Amino acid sequence: MLSGLSDWFWQEQLWFPKGLGWADLEDRDGRVYAKAQDLWVALPIALIFLIIRQIFERTLATPLASLLGVKETVRLQVPHNPTLESYYCNITKNPKQTPIASLSKQTGFSERQVQRWFRRRRNQDRPSLLKRFREASWRFTFYLLAFIAGLASLIDKPWLYDLKEMWQGFPVLTLLPSQYWYYMIELGFYGSLLVSVASDVKRKDFKEQIVHHVATILLISFSWCVNYIRAGTLIMLVHDSSDYFLESAKMFNYAGWRNACNYIFIVFAAVFIISRLVIFPFWIIYCTWIYPVTMYEPFFGYYFFNGLLMVLQCLHIFWAVLIIRMAIRFLTHNEKVDDERSDKDETDESEEEEEQAKKDMRKNGPVQNGHTVHNNNHSKIE
**Residue 49's pLDDT band (cuts 50, 70, 90):** very high
- Digit-coded pLDDT (tens) for 173-213: 888 899 999 999 999 999 998 888 777 777 766 777 788 88
Q: Is the pLDDT of residue 156 over 70?
A: yes
Helices (H) and strands (E) in the chain, counts: 15, 0
Task: Render pLDDT for 297-327 as a digit per residue (tens, 0 to 9).
Answer: 888 888 888 998 998 899 899 889 988 888 8
| Residue 210, burial from CB neighbour count under 10 angstroms (0-12, 13-18, 19+) | middle
Closest by alpha carbon to 226, among 91, 45, 34, 93?
A: 34
What is the spatial distance between Cα 24 and Cα 9, in angstroms, rounded to a whole number?
18
Which candidate, 160, 223, 163, 155, places its Cα nearest to that of 187?
Answer: 223
Confidence of residue 334 (pLDDT cuts 50, 70, 90): low
DSSP 279: I
Sorting pLDDT into bands at 50, 70 and 90, what band is 245? very high
Over range 139-153, report the average pLDDT. 94
Angle between helices 177-196 and 229-254 (to 10 degrees): 50
Rounded Cα–Cα distance for residues 375 and 76 (Å): 9
| pLDDT value, residue 294 | 81
CA pair distance 308, 316, nearest whole angstrom: 12
Residues of the chain above pLDDT 70, percent: 84
Tens of pLDDT, residue by residue over 339-372, are 554 544 444 344 444 444 444 444 444 444 444 4
User: What count of other Cβ atoms lies within 10 Å of the Cβ of residue 208?
Assistant: 15
Comparing 152 with 205, the larger pLDDT belongs to 152
For the ranges 46-55, 304-313, 330-339, the one whose mean pLDDT is highest: 46-55
- What pLDDT, on the 0 to 100 scale, is given for residue 382? 37
Nearest 5 degrees, angle CA 28-CA 31-CA 33? 95
Does pTM surpass 0.85?
no
- The widest CA-to-CA distance across the chain, in whole angstroms, is 91
